[in-house]
């Protein structure tokens, strides 16, 4: 790349800047920008402020899709012809990409499609095929360095853990101080941990603790609402009694712990083991109910899960909103199974006796059309692969521009023909005469469903299947204790 003469008008350039988190000798963004600007000026280029693309600190160069400024730079380069800038300046080629496949792909776009040169100000190379070869070797080395670095980092972290070094993200109630030193207690959030342990030790269950913690305005380590799972993770985290675990390596830490948690930790574990011991599949399947999946919460729209009671005299089987069961839902939405069953039977019987019912007609999916749709989607997916391959063949200089244009035109014609054929199939199916079941047919079906659902000798699975043939969903409003039935026919 030869610099322009002083008499030649200034050309427009661009700069892409990204700071590597693993290179201790890396220039800062400002320093990179300064060196790039000086190099561009010497070449007879000017770089406007809007064409300086700087990634936020800490963004990896491994994947281009995760770099917003890089994607914005590519989009601007492709936005018009000719491209709004004619040369892209980098501090190093590794700033462009540390993935050789992506580097080749995006450089092909800039060079071949947009006519943009790419220059590394710290790695000057000659023009022509030898210069391109050197550039490719640099890219290969950068990718090897990146892959090798991840392995070295893992080995270093493992060695650090074996030497009792602290490196994991601190759990709720602790702060990291760096350099592998023991974490320190965060006085602002450790009281939340103490509250959780003391509340569970005093007899409250995890769901109740989660709801109360959310009401008090407490939040998790990542500022999320608490649920049963996050409460359980805190209660079973042995870091609070001094043990440190990283990637399977465990050691006795030297960080501060407090009696308010340590003194009750083992009693808490005993209660968790007794109340939340694993159940086998037979126990789980025995709790299914023919209304499972049909009952919905009026507040959040979530399903009411079936719960089998261990003491039918104290509390019969019941349905409960799953979000409340996880500690997310603020109010309880529950109903006993017996009352829910009676409400369903009463609704079916009322429809049969009065012949009054509001319902929705749901058109059946034509299986032939469904099969054609699946085949069409699979063919289009294969077409996208072909299109990507011919583009790569051109960008890698395997095919000429003329060959690329011919292949692209051929695939375009195939795609259009497929779209037209599938549109005709759908249009034919939509215009086909359809026999729509009337209200009398729905009433007949409801009557048959009632006979099956009200029979105590018929299994839950059969009852659930036939009921779903006429009922889309059942919404329960806990505050008014009312059920809303949504009937349908197809």
To the query of whether residue 20 is one of the catalytic residues in this protein, the response is yes
Partners of 52 in beta bridges: 15
What does the alpha-carbon distance between residue 40 and residue 35 come to, in Å, rounded to a whole number?
9
Q: 481 — alpha (psi -120 to 50), left (phi > 0) or beta?
A: left
**Count of Cβ atoms closer than 10 Å to residue 469 Cβ:** 13
Say which of 20, 103, 146, 303 is annotated catalytic: 20
Phi, then psi, of 28 in degrees rounded to 5: -70, 165
Q: Which 3-state string (H, E, C) describes the chain?
A: CCCCCCCCCCEEEEEEECCCCCCCCCCCHHHHHHHHHHHHHHHCEECCHHHEEECCCCCCCCCHHHCHHHHHHHHHHHCCCCCCCCEEEECCHHHHCCCHHHHHHHHHHHHHHCCCEEEECCCCCCCHHHHHHHHHHHHHHHHHHHHHHHHHHHHHHHHHHHCCCCCCCCCCCEECCCCCCCCEECCCCHHHHHHHHHHHHCCCCHHHHHHHHHHCCCCCCCCCCCCHHHHHHHHCCHHHHCEEEECCEEEECCCCCCHHHHHHHHHHHHHHHHHCCCCCHHHHHCCCCCCCCCEEECCCCCEEEEECCCCCCCCCCEEEEHHHHCCCCCCCCEEEHHHHHHHHHHHHHHHHHHCCCCEEECCCCCHHHHHHHHHHHHHHHHHHHHHHHHHHHHHCCCCCHHHHHHHHHHHHHHHHHHHHHHHHHHHHHHHCCCCCCCHHHHHHHHHHHHHHHCCCCCCHHHHHHHHCCCEEEEEEECCCCEEEEEEEEC
Active site members: 20
């Amino acid at each position: 790349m030869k610099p322009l003469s002083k008499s030649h008008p200034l050309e427009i350039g661009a700069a892409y800047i990204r700071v590597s988190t693993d290179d201790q000798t890396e220039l800062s963004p400002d320093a990179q920008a300064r060196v790039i600007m000086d190099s561009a000026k010497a070449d007879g280029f000017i770089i406007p402020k809007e064409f300086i693309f700087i990634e936020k600190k800490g963004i990896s160069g491994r994947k281009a899709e995760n770099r917003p400024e890089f994607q914005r730079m590519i989009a601007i380069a492709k936005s018009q012809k000719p491209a709004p800038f004619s040369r892209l300046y980098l501090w190093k080629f590794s700033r462009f990409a540390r993935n050789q496949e992506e580097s080749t792909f995006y450089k092909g776009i800039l060079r071949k499609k947009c006519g943009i040169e790419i220059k590394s100000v710290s790695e000057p190379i000659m023009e022509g095929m030898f210069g391109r070869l050197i550039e490719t070797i640099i890219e290969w080395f950068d990718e090897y360095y990146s892959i090798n670095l991840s392995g070295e980092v893992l080995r270093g972290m493992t060695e650090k853990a074996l030497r009792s070094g602290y490196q994991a993200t601190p759990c709720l109630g602790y702060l990291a101080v760096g350099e592998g030193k023991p974490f320190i207690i965060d006085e602002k959030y450790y009281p939340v941990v103490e509250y959780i342990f003391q509340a569970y030790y005093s007899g409250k269950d995890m769901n109740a603790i989660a709801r109360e913690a959310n009401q008090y305005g407490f939040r998790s380590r990542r500022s999320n609402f608490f649920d049963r799972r996050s409460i359980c993770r805190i209660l079973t985290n042995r870091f609070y009694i001094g043990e440190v675990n990283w990637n399977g390596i465990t050691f006795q830490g030297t960080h501060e712990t407090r009696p308010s948690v340590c003194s009750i930790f083992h009693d808490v574990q005993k209660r968790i083991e007794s109340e939340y011991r694993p159940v086998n599949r037979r126990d789980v399947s025995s709790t299914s109910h023919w209304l499972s999946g049909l009952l919905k919460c009026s507040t959040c729209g979530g399903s009411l899960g079936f719960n089998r009671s261990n003491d039918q005299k104290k509390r019969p089987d019941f349905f409960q909103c799953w979000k409340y069961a996880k500690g997310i839902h603020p109010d309880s939405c529950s109903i006993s199974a017996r009352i829910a069953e009676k409400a369903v039977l009463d609704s079916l019987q009322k429809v049969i006796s009065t012949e009054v019912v509001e319902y929705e007609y749901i058109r059946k999916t034509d299986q032939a059309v469904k099969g054609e749709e699946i085949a069409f989607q699979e063919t289009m997916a294969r077409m996208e692969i072909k299109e990507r391959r011919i583009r790569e063949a051109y960008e890698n200089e395997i095919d000429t521009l003329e060959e690329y244009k011919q292949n692209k035109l051929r695939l375009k014609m195939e795609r259009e023909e497929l779209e037209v054929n599938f549109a005709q199939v759908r249009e034919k199916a939509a215009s086909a005469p359809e026999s729509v079941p009337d209200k009398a047919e729905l009433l007949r079906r409801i009557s048959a469903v009632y006979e099956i659902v009200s029979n105590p000798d018929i299994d839950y699975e059969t009852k659930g299947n036939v009921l779903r043939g006429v009922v889309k969903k059942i919404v329960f409003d806990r505050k008014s204790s009312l059920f809303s039935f949504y009937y349908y026919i197809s």
